[in-house]
Amino acid sequence: MIERKASLLTVGILIGVVAASFLFTYLLRQDRLSPGRGDGVIVLRLAHVLDSGHPVHEGMVYFARRVEELSGGKVSVPIFPNGQLGSEPETMEQAQNGALALVKTSAAAMEGFVPEMATFSMPYLFRDEEHYWDVLMSELGDEFLEMGSRVGLLGICYYDSGSRSFYTARRPVLKPSDLRGQNVRVLPSRTAMDMVSTFGGSPVPVPWGELYTALQQGMVDGAENNPPSLLSSRHYEVARHYSLNEHVRLPDILVISDLIWQRLSPEVQGWVMQAARESTEFQREVWRRESDAALETLEEAGVTIYRPDIELFQEAAAPLYENIRDQRVVELVERIRNHGR
């Protein structure tokens, strides 16, 4: 009898543990999908991989401040920079399941979730900066932002990240063939890898937070990015040749978890969207100022800046357009090229 009671007690305890586990998981998920805290303030956590001195980070700080102002303190947006919560793909996965509200990502990293984003990685797609922003701020630009909603990642605004150029440790890249024999870090984008391969280099996808060490230890010979990123990352301490071939204009995108977005009231959604739009304009001004200043600082720090013949790179990139695999990307490329004409 005693053994039977003990057995029943054990089963009861196990049932209680399992039930408590299910309850805890349920409550945790409810909390994740209904962001907030005890005092009634809605908390929307924002993660990105850049450092806190980057001009794109400044845009996000402005966004967070405007959300709090517009909401009268009812909505808070704490920011987690420097990859504290993971890489861009990792944080986007967190946003997909509602564990994270907001993520700043590059269009290239988003390519793994939304194939059409590969369009932005096509080299020399935009005629100039004016054409680039005309497209982003048009209905076509809005289409790109909305594409992520089908995978739970709704784009709410763009941030300027300038144009990307090659920087290397051993020798400068003055023409595409100078990349032969060099391992070049690229974003996690099939299109970016194909571009470097077409130019003659060997593409190596390395997480942004690990790139300084990879350059320092010779795991890669170079990388490609904009002036503020080269400066703030301190990669110039290792890679002192910077060739402004400006092969791609790749926007940064602020995305929000669709799971969380659907649980926000229309009023809160309005505050978030207004703050996002305003932060784009603010960040563009910051970018212009700090991008020019970054080039000056890099030169003062001993970096040699080259301005190669861009036509050589444009000619070398032409085969990439002939080999686009995705018909949808082909259509989007044509729409962008014809925009404004």
Give the alpha-carbon dihedral of 153, 189, 248, 135, to 10 degrees: -30
Environment class of residue 32 by beta-carbon count within 10 Å: exposed (0-12), middle (13-18) or buried (19+)?
A: middle
Q: Closest Cα partner for 105 from 36, 189, 33?
A: 189
Strand partners, 306: 243
- Global pTM? 0.84
Phi-psi region of 246 (alpha: psi -120 to 50; beta: other; left: phi over 0): left
Q: Which residue has the tokens 């806190």?
A: 52
Q: Write the CB contacts of 85 (distance below 8 Å, at least 6 apart in sequence).
A: 45, 47, 91, 94, 100
Q: Which residue has the tokens 């703050």?
A: 275
Listed as own residue / partner, the contacts of 316-322 with beta carbons closer than 8 Å and 24 or more positions apart are 316/176, 316/198, 316/199, 317/123, 317/124, 317/195, 317/198, 317/199, 317/247, 319/198, 320/122, 320/123, 320/191, 320/194, 320/195, 320/198, 321/122
pLDDT tens across 102-154, in order? 999 999 999 999 999 999 999 999 999 999 999 999 999 999 999 999 999 99
Cα separation, 176 vs 153, whole angstroms: 36
Residue 196 CA to its chain's centroid (Å): 20
Environment class of residue 312 by beta-carbon count within 10 Å: exposed (0-12), middle (13-18) or buried (19+)?
A: middle
Q: Which residue has the tokens 């904009």?
A: 226
Q: Write the CB contacts of 4 (distance below 8 Å, at least 6 apart in sequence).
A: none
Contact 235, 212 (CB under 8 A): yes
CA angle 70–74–79, rounded 5-degree value: 85
C-alpha distances out from residue 101 to 44, 65, 94, 114, 198, Å:
5, 16, 8, 18, 38
Domains and CATH numbers, the chain: 35-161+251-292 (3.40.190.170), 163-250+297-338 (3.40.190.170)
DSSP conformational letter for 307? -
pLDDT in tens, the chain (341 residues): 434 433 433 434 344 433 433 433 333 343 344 455 557 899 999 999 999 999 999 999 999 999 999 999 999 999 999 999 999 999 999 999 999 999 999 999 999 999 999 999 999 999 999 999 999 999 999 999 999 999 999 999 999 999 999 999 999 999 999 999 999 999 888 899 999 999 999 999 999 889 999 999 999 999 999 999 999 999 999 999 999 999 999 999 999 999 999 999 999 999 999 999 999 999 999 999 999 999 999 999 999 999 999 999 999 999 999 989 899 999 999 999 999 88
Cα separation, 4 vs 176, whole angstroms: 80
Q: Closest Cα partner for 220 from 234, 231, 210?
A: 210
